[in-house]
Amino acid sequence: MKLTEAQARLANDMLAGTKLIRGDITGAFYLSRPSGELASVSGVMVHRMIDKGALHSTGRRDSRNGHIYALTAAGREWLRDASQPTGQHKGDE
């Protein structure tokens, strides 16, 4: 699985306790940080991560009436693998 740098940042934020939520009313995705801060996130980026098998809906809801999404085992594995040096240049992929 290959994720972009922005997708990897989102995944790392989620590992650090940030929740990814999809609002019921608008359908927009946003981040809920442990500090209480909210931030919007690209729906296209999230859908691509879902399509790659890196994210899934947990079926749980948050206090703001939205569905919580989480990293899958495959998403966590990709982050682990991405942190290992490959010796390849970007154009070698």
Q: Please check whether residue 89 lies inside any domain of the structure.
A: no
CATH number at residue 68: 1.10.10
Total number of domains in the chain: 1
Q: What residues have CB less than 8 Å from 60, skipping those under 6 apart? A: 67, 68
Does 32 map to a domain? yes
**pLDDT grade, residue 5 (50/70/90)?**
confident
Confidence check: pLDDT of 2 > 90: no
> Which residues span the domain enclosing 24?
5-84
25 contact partners, CB below 8 Å, separation of at least 6: 65
pLDDT at 18 over 70: yes
For the stretch 54-66, pLDDT in tens is: 999 999 998 877 9
Mean pLDDT for all residues in the chain? 85
- Residue 44 belongs to some domain of the structure: yes
Q: Is residue 67 part of a domain?
A: yes
